[in-house]
Amino acid sequence: MNDDTHERFSVLGALHLTVGGSTHTLRGPMVNKAMALLLLRAGHVVEVDAFIDELWDETPPRWAVSTVRTHIYHLRRQLDEALGTPARRMLRTRRSGYVLDIDPERLDATRFVRLCKEGDRLLALDRPAEAAAACREGLALWRGRALATVRPGRVLAGHVDYLEELRIHAQRVRVEAEMGAGRHRQLVPELRDLVAAHPFNEWFHRALIESLRESGRRGEARTAFHALRTLLRDELGLEPADESPWNVPA
């Protein structure tokens, strides 16, 4: 059966679902928050208290429980429209809350986490080409910051931070794998972008300096090292964690 006949859910970028090749977005900020919480805890009961914490933080109204039910009702209606089948088969009510019963592989975040773990495993087995491929596949699922169209409350914020940290880790594993395969020259442009995006991540700076050095660009490697040292001194009052392993050319 063609995979396009199945629904897919995306949180690595704008929150949306895809059915039969058509993209559907949800209406209403609270409905989107509820859906995001259900997706990121798919297969597990999300208690009503968790919805209340996410939707209202520390100041929930007295009628919060009934309002959560209303948002779930509207979410089911919108899922019915998108899926063309009763959403109750997917979004189930439990005594303490609600559970989204979907195949985990239908969620891009689940596939991303799986591929990251596979990249770690393959790198540990000294299979850098396969490790890099797994990380590339996982990183290709991203279409912007996690839950880009949702304003996370304190519950979702933890999920977003985890995914964003894992994204950085996947980038690091992929770079490490490709450096192990001797692709220093090809990595330089991307590492410059990573350094610009994460200016205080010393590992990316170190990878850039090493890739420049291994590409025969010793002067640029030294300039990159001094740029890092100046940044850390001026912004944080720190020195690079350990200068000795950097092998910066004289």
DSSP assignments along 4-46, one per residue: GGS-EEE-SSS-EEEETTEEE--SSHHHHHHHHHHHHTTTS-E
Residue 200 lies in a domain: yes
**Which domain, by its residues, includes 203?**
183-250
Report the C-alpha gap between 51 and 214 in whole angstroms: 52
Judged against a pLDDT cut of 80, whether residue 46 lies above it is answered with: yes
Please state the domain count of the chain. Answer: 2
- End position of a domain, from candidates 38, 70, 103: 103
- End position of a domain, from candidates 103, 128, 146: 103
Report the C-alpha gap between 100 and 110 in whole angstroms: 14
Residue 91 lies in a domain: yes
User: Can you tell me the mean pLDDT for 75-80?
Assistant: 94
Residue 238 lies in a domain: yes
Residue 151 lies in a domain: no
153-171 pLDDT per residue, tens: 999 999 999 999 999 999 9
pLDDT band at 211 (very low <50, low <70, confident <90, very high): very high
